[in-house]
Amino acid sequence: MENIKEKVKGVLKQLSFYTVISISFAAGISIGYYYDYIKTTYSKRPQVVSIRKAEVKLAMDENNNLLIIQKNDGTYVLYQDSIGVQIFNMYAKSIYKPATPTN
């Protein structure tokens, strides 16, 4: 009788060990699947904001940082120098007119 109890105890111990391993494995797979699903489904997409030139003033500071200043309340957004230079170059190209010689 003693021998049977010890065998059952050993079998239950191994069964519980493999059960814990199986549950951990299943939990890891489900967490990985749902993490990827949530990351791809609920990702934040950047919102595009359009601003009319009549509503803002464009300025560049001494470090070539671009400032977009709202005319109505004076709030501003500061962009890094590379963005400021690119927008300045695009604006300069749009208003550039070659000089015509006058006789």
| Position with higher pLDDT, 85 vs 15 | 15
Main-chain phi, psi angles of 65, to 5 degrees = -75, 140
CA angle 80, 81, 83 (to 5 degrees): 75
Q: Token pair for residue 60? A: 């560049």
Q: What pLDDT, on the 0 to 100 scale, is given for residue 62?
A: 86
Tens of pLDDT, residues 45-97? 777 878 888 899 888 888 888 888 999 998 998 888 888 788 778 877 877 77
Domain boundaries, the chain: 1-44, 53-95
Query: Cα 101 vs. chain centroid, distance in angstroms?
Result: 52
pTM above 0.85, yes or no: no
Average pLDDT of span 20-25? 95
Number of C-beta neighbours around residue 40 at 10 A: 8
